[in-house]
């Protein structure tokens, strides 16, 4: 194979590779920026949820102290053949 014929196309190939690498880098950068924005939105949402959970739910200790019989009924029950709850 005569490599002298291909020497004139090396500059074009290097230029095309540079253009494609630049476009790929730009697209990757945009993807990472959008991903970072979405992660920030999720973090804000979950932080707000976590703060709200303390107000909405009762802790296990408070639940055991106030409703000890109910907690035992939930943890130590069984079912008969029909599926009814048996203590």
Looking at the fold, whether 8 and 23 belong to one and the same domain comes out as yes
**Which residue range forms the structural domain that includes residue 45?**
1-56
| Nearest residue to 11 (alpha-carbon basis) of 19, 34, 48 | 19
Taking the whole predicted model, whether its pTM rises above 0.75 is answered as no
Looking at the fold, whether 26 and 42 belong to one and the same domain comes out as yes
Looking at the fold, whether 16 and 42 belong to one and the same domain comes out as yes
Looking at the fold, whether 49 and 39 belong to one and the same domain comes out as yes
Cβ density class 40-63: b for 16+ within 10 Å, e for less: eeeeeeeeeeeeeeeeeeeeeeee
Strand partners, 78: 86
Overall domain count for the chain: 2
Looking at the fold, whether 63 and 52 belong to one and the same domain comes out as no
Question: Sign of the C-alpha dihedral, residues 68, 74, 52, 43?
Answer: positive
Looking at the fold, whether 44 and 82 belong to one and the same domain comes out as no
- First vs last Cα of the chain: how many Å apart? 89
34-78 pLDDT, tens digit each: 999 999 998 888 877 777 776 677 666 655 566 667 777 777 888
């Amino acid at each position: 194979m005569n490599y002298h014929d291909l020497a004139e196309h090396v500059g074009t190939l290097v230029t095309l590779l540079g253009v494609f690498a630049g476009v790929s880098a730009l697209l990757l950068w945009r993807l990472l920026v959008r991903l970072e924005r979405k992660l920030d939105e999720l973090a804000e949402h979950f932080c707000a949820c976590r703060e709200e959970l303390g107000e909405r739910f009762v802790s296990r200790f408070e639940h055991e102290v106030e409703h000890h019989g109910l907690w035992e009924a939930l943890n130590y029950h069984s079912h008969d053949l029909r599926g009814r709850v048996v203590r």
